[in-house]
Amino acid sequence: MIKTDVDLMVKFLRGFSDKTRIQILESIKDQEKTVSEIVEDLNGKQSNISQHLACLKGCGLIVGRQDGKFIKYSLRNQQVRDLLTMFHTVFEEVQTDIACCENHIE
């Protein structure tokens, strides 16, 4: 991979690197939702959720569909859904190692 490709890959992966963004992706994994529905699911603030939705949309992970006066958000495609499922699968296998890792402490 050339440097530009690596930089874009890192930018893409940032879409998954925030707790709220992961929660949003999980919230819309199985059905499209409006901002208000996502805010309710996450018990969050609309302005914060909207900022994260913009990031996810900018990373190409989600799409918005106009439905009357509302925009309904969903995952971009089945591949994004599959990627989330794969994250869960890999996480189950490595979660003990992650819990013990001292290199990436918050």
Taking a C-beta distance cutoff of 8 angstroms, is the pair 38, 69 a contact? Answer: no
Q: What is the DSSP letter of 33?
A: B
Model confidence band, residue 104 (pLDDT cutoffs 50, 70, 90): low
In Å, how far are 6, 12, 69, 80 from 15, measured between CA atoms?
Answer: 15, 6, 27, 11
Output the pLDDT for position 106. Answer: 56
Of 46-50, 62-66, 73-77, 100-104, give the lowest mean pLDDT range. Answer: 100-104
pLDDT, tens digit (0-9, with 9 covering 90-100), for 8-45 = 888 888 888 899 999 999 999 999 999 999 999 999 99
Q: Whole-model pTM?
A: 0.86
Instruction: Report how far residue 28's alpha carbon sits from residue 103's, in angstroms, rounded to the nearest whole number.
Output: 31
Of 67, 81, 84, 61, give the one whose Cα is nearest residue 33: 67
Output the pLDDT for position 41. Answer: 97
- What pairing do the DSSP bridges indicate for beta strands 70-75 and 62-67? antiparallel
9: Cβ contacts below 8 Å, ≥ 6 apart: 1
Backbone conformation region of residue 67, classed left if phi is above 0, alpha if psi is from -120 to 50, else beta: beta
Domains of the chain listed by start with CATH number = 3-100 (1.10.10.10)
